[in-house]
Amino acid sequence: MLREDDWNVWYDTLLRAFGGMPEASEKRELEGRLTEHDRCLGAWDDDQLVGTSGAYTFRITVPGGAAVPAAGITMVSVAATHRRRGVLTSMMRRLLDDVRAKDEPLAVLCASEPEIYGRFGYGLATHRLSVEVDTTRARLSVPPGTDDVRLRYAAPAEVLDACEAVYARQVPRRPGMLARQPGWERLELLDTERHRDGASPLQCVVAERDGEGVIGYARFRVKPDWDHSGPKGTVLVSSSEALDPAAHAALWRFLFDLDLTSTIVARGRPLDEPWVQLVNDIRRCDLRVRDELFVRLVDVGVALAARTYQVPVDVVLEVEDAFCPWNEGRWRLTGDAKGASCERTADAADLVLSVRELGAAYLGGVGLATLGAAGLVREVRQGALTEASVAFGSTVAPWLPHGF
């Protein structure tokens, strides 16, 4: 529990661990408001604060569309003077015990470094696509209906509610997305000098169709540049959502065609980004995959029963979980596209795996068969790995549009 008086020293301790750059006052103020002070931890050495961490009370979309309670572990730092003495380990112990006590079946986080959290049972469940497109060469062939979509510029704050309505309709459609908590929409509009990094203020274009209102939006900045051969500006895309293929194509064609620019940079797109299928020259897009969301099943039975499965599945999982031993043992998972149950069983195991692999596969973005091929899932009953892998899959790539 963080006392109001401790907030500034707590936040400064956190910032110092990330290099000590000061935050713009509007960002600091917003972070202060979004932080759940009753879920923050501090580690103290006498009167010296040497560790910070906390949790947000989220709901995350899982395959099938349910919004499942998940603790968003965040703001983890240990003072460099006290590193590698187990401070993070003791804070994670406390955090996960608290998550369990609150009956949240999942803990999720974005890692500063991917190596840190596997030891605590977090598996890498979603990835993000980063692109740097040479728009002097890459062009989009758009689907029918694209020209019926109207685009207009709008001040980002003025159309925020309409954009949020689009966002809210996307949340149940894609595993990994977080139901927006009050206040979080303001993060999307933060526009400090640090955010701009030499580019323009945040701009917004909304997509509309007669009778339907706003059906998509793109927020971006433009960084102008010129050399001896002419203009070579960059479009920096910060967020974009669209409700249908035509709106998506219209927005991205606009971004590709902006005058005086020759590059689009977008850092956090879903792996199944549709415009990638429309581009004439994929080699000009420089697609890179990065880690995004790590998932930890805190209550294996509740978590596995909360999602649905692409095809009927009946499998006994033997789960290893040294850090949260209450999950260890055998679980019978029975489910299909309508629902599932997951109960303890004394039956023989079909698959043996650690809770980390279960977390990686949970949102349907990483195949159990892929993990099995890496030697991380052991198949005891022949055929069980393929059956379970197909059932756990998702037709939509899981994705988290923003970090936390």
Ligand X SMILES: CC(=O)SCCNC(=O)CCNC(=O)[C@H](O)C(C)(C)COP(=O)(O)OP(=O)(O)OC[C@H]1O[C@@H](n2cnc3c(N)ncnc32)[C@H](O)[C@@H]1OP(=O)(O)O
Q: Residues within the annotated binding site for acetyl-CoA?
A: 76-78, 84-89, 112-113
Contact with ligand X (CB under 6 A) among 24, 49, 116, 168: 116
Least CB distance to ligand X at residue 171 (A): 22
Least CB distance to ligand X at residue 111 (A): 5
- CB-based contacts of 42: which residues, under 8 Å, 6+ apart? 2, 6, 10, 49, 51, 52
Residue 117 annotated to the active site: yes
Beta bridge partners of 340: 335
Q: Which of residues 49-88 bind ligand X (CB under 6 A)?
A: 73-78, 83-88
At position 402, the amino acid (one-letter code) is H
> Which of the ranges 115-123, 134-142, 250-258, 300-308 carries the binding residues for ligand X, by CB under 6 A?
115-123
Which CB, 184 or 254, lies closer to ligand X?
184
Residue whose C-alpha is closest to residue 172's, from 347, 5, 308: 308
**What region, left, alpha or beta, does residue 103 occupy, with left being phi > 0 and alpha being psi -120 to 50 degrees?**
left
Residue whose C-alpha is closest to residue 329's, from 298, 359, 308, 355: 355
The reply to whether 342 sits near ligand X by the rule CB under 6 A is: no
Q: Which of residues 2-21 bind ligand X (CB under 6 A)?
A: 17-18
| CA–CA separation, 262 and 267 (whole Å) | 17
Q: State the binding string over 95-114 for ligand X (x if CB under 6 A, else -).
A: --------------x-xxx-
Cα dihedral 345/347/349/353 (nearest 10): 10
Which CB, 254 or 404, lies closer to ligand X?
404
Least CB distance to ligand X at residue 114 (A): 9
Contact with ligand X (CB under 6 A) among 4, 47, 115, 259: 115
Token output for 213:
């209102």
How many residues belong to the site for ligand X (CB under 6 A)? Answer: 22
Catalytic residue chosen out of the listed positions 117, 122, 167, 392: 117
Least CB distance to ligand X at residue 167 (A): 23
Least CB distance to ligand X at residue 49 (A): 12
Residue whose C-alpha is closest to residue 70's, from 338, 302, 366: 302
Least CB distance to ligand X at residue 40 (A): 12
Within a 10 A sphere around the Cβ of 62, how many other Cβ atoms? 25
Q: Which of residues 276-295 bind ligand X (CB under 6 A)?
A: none
Residue 220 annotated to the active site: no
Which CB, 145 or 268, lies closer to ligand X?
268
Which CB, 94 or 119, lies closer to ligand X?
119
Q: For binding to ligand X (CB under 6 A), which residues are involved? A: 17-18, 73-78, 83-89, 109, 111-113, 115-116, 119
* Active site residues per annotation: 117, 404
